Amino acid sequence: MAKLYFIYAAMNAGKSTILLQSAYNYRERGMQVMLWTSGHYREGQEETAEISSRIGLNARAHLYREEIDLFEAITAMKNDGAVDAVFIDEAQFLAPEQVWQLARVADQLHIPVMCYGLRTDFQGKLFPGSAELLAIADQLREVRTICHCGRKATMTARVDPEGKAITEGQQVEVEKSRYVSLCRKHWEAATKIH
């Protein structure tokens, strides 16, 4: 039975690396995988982009945008050939309806769907896609990373060039170097949001 998975973590935990390694494992066994990544901040780009990890792994992927029906797109590709698994990078940017479309891929097309993304933003709020995945995914997996104190990092802080936490602004900012992973205690101390 195919399932919808949500693999989540704070920034810099290695989610994209794990996704790319898993996709490689499927391909190594002769299976066909579909990779998707967010078109959220890639305006004007073609229909494909690259998923890349900090350690240098990368692979071409389809771009999803809010207007794309992922169930229809995956069904069309399945009709053109085998699709053994679907991997979604940056799943926090999925629209709630797209999460349900991916659930239908697992339930009706019997294709496992692995979604990788952040659980919360720099203000400690759930992303809409993450909230829907936490609500309906068949299986949840946390990828762990550590805070500078050695505790498990569960939060992501956005910082300015001096390293001071920023607490206001748009939910998404693309520059990855502006984010640090912290445990809840140090995130709260840095942001003073709560």
Query: 45: buried, middle or exposed (CB in 10 Å: 19+, 13-18, 0-12)?
Result: exposed
Question: What are the distances in angstroms from CA 117 to CA 6, 38, 109, 139, 142?
Answer: 8, 11, 23, 14, 10
Query: From the candidates 50, 66, 67, 90, which is the catalytic residue?
Result: 90
* Closest-CA residue to 63 (of 46, 87, 76): 46
* Closest-CA residue to 89 (of 144, 26, 29, 22): 22
Helix or strand holding residue 90 (H, E): none
Specify whether 66 is catalytic: no
Could you give the 3-state DSSP secondary structure of residue 103? helix
Catalytic residue positions, numbered? 90
